[in-house]
């Protein structure tokens, strides 16, 4: 009988283990039991903006022909290597945790912090989908809950990014506490509102080929609400070298890259050569871009072997040093988007006015003189036709975005300007890259959804020559 009783007692103890609520036995009453949203916002921002390497920085500068490779030349010849997006999603996970945090901060209403996390997320999502096409989006960021997320069509992603940007802009308010963890605008909600409007304008133009009516409506509303127009409001990431937070350009090996001859010939106004623009006027910004000043020649672009190809121009160390500011969204970009809008609306007067103000704003950003005279000449280069205006706006937008290769690559693919020439020794089908191939693991651990993603491309192959939705 004793044996039976003991056995039953043990069984009852074991069975009861699943039902016992031990309450706060293992909780430290002096430690926070929620994620530190300030730390998450900083971490998500820093992780994204400090990422260097091929797929996070240099490949896009090669595809937009800001740079040429000196010795390891496969990327400028468009090899079909699988891309990487891990950094993007890591940053997005952190920012989502901020956006999902309960509105119970001891400091009060946390709407501004949520809005900042959302707007930064939109910036990252746009870069990711522009680079790959359809991507895990609606089911992404669930981590172990859904390790094989479905791919969302890029058309749906863009529609949602517009809605999220508008919603985030609406959250910004003076009654919410100032966000000390904001390392971009220092908690200045007026500047975040301007950035939100400029981001809406960029999203609208990027999708304008596919849904012109919605694009124009979104663009006009954002323009009326007030976008970034002054350099003081540009979106700038400021490194903290004392805290080991550095400019991503400093991670690249300078010996591996020169400025491209495409860029230097265009900015020197060379007639012929590698100048693919119609500019024939010296552009004083080159002195700030290049270690070779106004006369240094970049390296001819796209060759596998550079023996005999001379160059004496690299990206200026004032841009690539560890502590140099990283201008992510310059004010001039907004001016050029507005100029492009007025071309679409067949308004030559305003198109020229914003082309001119864009150039002058860019010159002021780089601290060089001569912007007004240069702008006057470029307006003359545009001629009397709207296609001529579209060309010069596109070419000057390319210069104005330097050295942001990702933004320049997206714009060049959409507009066709500048009319870049493909590598003469390509490793792909012989065309300018339209995207990155999906990361290698997607075809193995997420193969069913990967196959759906590929079907959103044109043609339906996972190659860098296949076009994403907004450019089909």
**Integer angstrom CA distances of residue 108 from 170, 203, 278:** 18, 32, 55
Angle at 53 between CA 52 and CA 56, to 5 degrees: 65
| Cis omega (within 30 of 0) for bond into 418 | yes
Residue 8 pLDDT > 50, yes or no? no
Q: What is the DSSP letter of 57?
A: I
pLDDT score recorded for residue 144? 83
**Integer angstrom CA distances of residue 284 from 232, 374, 442:** 21, 9, 45
Summarised one tens digit per residue, pLDDT across range 435-451 is 999 999 999 999 999 99
**Integer angstrom CA distances of residue 31 from 23, 27, 93:** 16, 8, 23
Percent above pLDDT 90 for the chain: 88
Residue 133: closest CA among 383, 426, 401, 410: 410
**Average of pLDDT values for 215-232?**
98
pLDDT score recorded for residue 108? 84
Better-scored residue on pLDDT, 287 or 103 = 287
3-state secondary structure (DSSP) of residue 257:
strand
**Average of pLDDT values for 51-56?**
94
Average confidence score pLDDT of the chain: 92
Summarised one tens digit per residue, pLDDT across range 390-409 is 999 999 999 999 999 999 99
Q: What is the DSSP letter of 143?
A: G
**Average of pLDDT values for 279-292?**
98
**Contact criterion met (CB below 8 Å) for 320 and 254:** yes
Q: Which of 29-33, 177-181, 292-296 has the lowest mean pLDDT?
A: 29-33
**Average of pLDDT values for 110-119?**
96
Q: How far apart are CA 120 and CA 42, in angstroms?
A: 11
pLDDT score recorded for residue 102? 81
> What's domain 37-251+323-471's architecture?
Alpha Horseshoe (1.25)
* pTM, 2 dp: 0.92
Q: How far apart are CA 303 and CA 318, in angstroms?
A: 28
Residue 9 pLDDT > 90, yes or no? no
Residue 10 pLDDT > 70, yes or no? no
**Average of pLDDT values for 278-306?**
98
pLDDT score recorded for residue 26? 45
Q: What stretch of H or E contains 224?
A: helix 212-225
pLDDT score recorded for residue 418? 98
Q: Where are the domains of the chain?
A: 37-251+323-471
N-term to C-term CA, the chain? 81
**Average of pLDDT values for 262-267?**
98
Residue 109 pLDDT > 70, yes or no? yes
Strands 257-259 and 67-69: antiparallel
**Average of pLDDT values for 332-336?**
98
**Contact criterion met (CB below 8 Å) for 259 and 314:** yes
User: If you count them, how many residues does the chain have?
Assistant: 472
Q: What is the DSSP letter of 300?
A: P
Summarised one tens digit per residue, pLDDT across range 81-95 is 999 999 999 999 999
**Integer angstrom CA distances of residue 167 from 37, 226, 444:** 20, 16, 36
Q: How far apart are CA 405 and CA 337, in angstroms?
A: 17
Exposure string of 98-129, with b = 16+ CB inside 10 Å and e = fewer, is: bbebeeeeeeeebbbbbbbbbbbbbbbbbbbb
462: CB partners within 8 A, 6+ apart:
437, 438, 443, 450, 454
With bands split at pLDDT 50, 70 and 90, how would you rate the model's confidence at 35? low
Percent above pLDDT 70 for the chain: 92
Q: How far apart are CA 290 and CA 265, in angstroms?
A: 12
Q: Which of 11-20, 222-231, 421-430 has the lowest mean pLDDT?
A: 11-20
- Burial environment of residue 369 by CB neighbours within 10 A (0 to 12, 13 to 18, 19 or more): exposed
pLDDT score recorded for residue 301? 98
């Amino acid at each position: 009988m004793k044996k039976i009783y003991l056995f039953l007692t043990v069984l009852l103890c074991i069975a009861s283990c699943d039902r016992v609520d031990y309450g706060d036995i293992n909780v430290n009453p002096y430690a926070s039991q929620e994620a530190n949203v300030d730390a998450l916002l900083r971490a998500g921002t820093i992780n994204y903006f400090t990422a260097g390497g091929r797929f996070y920085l240099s490949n896009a500068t090669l595809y937009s022909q800001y740079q040429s490779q000196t010795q390891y030349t496969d990327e400028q010849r468009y090899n079909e290597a699988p891309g990487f997006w891990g950094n993007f999603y890591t940053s997005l996970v952190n920012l989502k945790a901020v956006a999902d945090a309960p509105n119970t901060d001891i400091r009060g209403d946390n709407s501004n912090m949520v809005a900042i996390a959302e707007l930064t997320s939109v910036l990252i999502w746009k870069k990711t989908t522009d680079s790959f096409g359809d991507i895990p989006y609606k089911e992404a960021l669930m981590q172990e809950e859904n390790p094989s997320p479905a791919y969302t069509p890029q058309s749906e992603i863009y529609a949602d990014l517009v809605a999220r940007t508008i919603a985030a802009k609406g959250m910004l308010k003076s009654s919410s506490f100032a966000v000390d963890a904001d390392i971009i605008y220092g908690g200045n909600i007026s500047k975040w509102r301007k950035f939100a409007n400029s981001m809406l304008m960029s999203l609208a133009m990027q999708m304008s080929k596919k849904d012109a009516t919605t694009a124009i409506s979104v663009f006009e509303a954002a323009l009326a609400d007030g976008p970034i127009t002054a350099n003081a409001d540009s979106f700038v990431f400021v490194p903290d070298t004392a805290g080991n937070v550095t400019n991503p350009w400093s991670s690249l090996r300078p010996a591996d890259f020169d400025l491209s001859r495409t860029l230097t010939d265009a900015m020197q106004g060379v007639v012929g050569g590698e100048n693919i623009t119609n500019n024939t006027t010296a552009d004083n910004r080159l002195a700030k871009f290049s270690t070779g000043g106004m006369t240094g020649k970049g390296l001819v672009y796209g060759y596998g072997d550079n023996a005999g190809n001379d160059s004496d121009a690299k990206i200026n160390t004032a841009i690539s040093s560890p502590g140099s500011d990283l201008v992510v969204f310059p004010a001039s970009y907004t001016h050029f988007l507005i100029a492009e809008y007025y071309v679409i609306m067949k308004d030559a007067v305003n198109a020229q006015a914003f082309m001119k103000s864009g150039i002058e704003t860019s010159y002021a950003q780089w601290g060089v003189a001569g912007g007004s005279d240069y702008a006057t000449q470029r307006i003359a280069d545009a001629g009397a036709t709207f296609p001529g205006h579209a060309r010069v706006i596109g070419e000057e937008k390319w210069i104005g975005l330097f050295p942001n290769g990702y933004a320049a690559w997206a714009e060049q693919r959409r507009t066709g300007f500048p009319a870049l020439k493909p590598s003469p020794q390509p490793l792909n089908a012989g065309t300018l890259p339209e995207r990155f191939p999906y990361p290698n693991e997607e075809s193995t651990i997420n193969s069913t959804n990967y196959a759906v993603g590929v079907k959103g491309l044109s043609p339906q192959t996972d190659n860098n020559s296949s076009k994403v939705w907004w450019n089909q």
